[in-house]
Amino acid sequence: MKYKLPLAAACVGFVGLMTLAQAIPAQAASWKLDGSSYVYVNDDGTYYKGWIHTTDNKYYYMDLTTGRMTTGWKQINGKYYYFKSNGEMAVGWEQVDGVYYYLNSKQDDYGAMIYNSWIHIGEDYYYVKGDGVMVTGWRPINNNWYYFKADGRCAFGWQQIDGTWYYLNENTGVMLTGWQQINGKHYYLNTDGKMLTGWLTDSNGNKYYMDATNGDMSIAWKQIDGKWYYFNDVGHMQTGWQNLNGTYYYLDPSTGVMYAGTTVTIDGKQYSFDSNGVYTGGSSSPTSGSPVNGSGSPSTGTPSGGNVVTGSPSNSTGNSNNTPGSSSPGTGTPGSSGSTPVVTGPPDNSGSTGGSSSSSNTTSSYQYYNSKKPSSDGEIPEFSTTGPVA
């Protein structure tokens, strides 16, 4: 048997249902996994689009067309941002596909990828290329060469790279060439910046000897391959008669080798020298018409081959208290010192006395930009939510 509901009762039931529906609140805005990506659902059920700034001060970007959460690289208002796999916008150093990028952690384009710029963190300098990738190894910047260690830090002072020593200005990091006075000693760096060792000859025919181990220019007596040579106070190899503190020595006119333990004929006269090279007597005295105190001219050849150099060590410039072996390439994570990063110009060249450097960026003293949206189109209301993924 079927019963019909009285009209009055039906009306009462409909009114009650409407009352109950009004008592149920609309669904609160929240994150939702829609397929393989997250969306942020507004109170009215629509997908939010654009920037989201959460209560824990993180940023997310919801696609302007689909409303889906962005991951990976995204160009927004002409600037590049990187969003991690959980959608959180990256800030500071971020490793992507094996290379490092720096996403601005200061005001003015918070989170935007930095490119073609020096980055100053604590006492360290880094450089990012036009594609934003952190530089390692050798890099030409504004016609100067710099070297960046494995962790991206700009190198200063002596650096041994692939078995060869280089000197990077201790104030600017610029690779130096030519004669350099460092910690009171003279060194010669060729046009590639490599520290030279062994025999050198300058354009005036003067010969020098750079220590085979540490590269510093020889002064006074120097034993080379078992033979003794004498170099004056500017490093020139001496030949002929030498009166040193009242004692006479004779250095071969062609090779500069000191005569020792022998009697030789010089200008038709006999002279004898003991095992230490000291003149001991002969048919004539070296004081009568013989050149002394380093007079005479070196031959045009190099004693043992060697390199031709330009300039003179007396024209060099001082710029360090370091010596070869005092520095080594670093490893680790960029910016791992924890200091506050600043996007800036190249290393300060104040007080520099060697090399040159020019800045391509203006030094800035940025403050943290903790509550602004990453683009320039107004403010973002803070959402009463954290990110979709812990």
Contact 199, 304 (CB under 8 A): yes
Query: pLDDT of 32-47, one tens digit each?
Result: 988 888 999 988 889 9
Query: Is residue 367 pLDDT above 90, yes or no?
Result: no
Contact 92, 335 (CB under 8 A): yes
Calpha distance 130→118 (Å, rounded): 11
Query: Is residue 243 pLDDT above 80, yes or no?
Result: yes
Enumerate domains of the chain plus CATH numbers. Answer: 198-315 (2.10.270.10)
Q: Which pair of tokens denotes residue 38? A: 């997250």
Q: Tell me the range of 90-94, 265-269, 340-344, 378-382 where mean pLDDT is highest.
A: 90-94
Task: Provide the CA 95 distance to its chain's centre, in angstroms.
Answer: 18
- The phi-psi region of residue 193 (left if phi > 0; otherwise alpha if psi is between -120 and 50; otherwise beta) is left
What pLDDT does residue 309 have? 60
Query: pLDDT of 149-168, one tens digit each?
Result: 999 999 999 999 999 999 99
Residues 6+ apart with CB under 8 A from 201: 207, 208, 302, 306, 307, 308, 309
Residue 98: CA count within 13 A, CB half-sphere: 0
Element (H, E) at 283: none
- The total number of residues shown for the chain amounts to 390
Overall pTM > 0.85: no
What pLDDT does residue 161 have? 95
Query: pLDDT of 320-361, one tens digit each?
Result: 444 443 444 344 555 544 444 444 444 554 433 344 333 333
Residue 287 pLDDT grade (very low, low, confident, very high; cuts 50, 70, 90): low
Calpha distance 110→101 (Å, rounded): 14
For tokens 């700009």, what's the residue?
154
Residue 197 pLDDT grade (very low, low, confident, very high; cuts 50, 70, 90): very high
Terminal-residue alpha carbon distance, the chain: 59
Calpha distance 118→134 (Å, rounded): 10
Please spell the DSSP secondary structure of 162-194, one letter per residue: TTEEEEE-TTT-PBP-EEEEETTEEEEE-TT-B
pLDDT higher at 286 or 220: 220
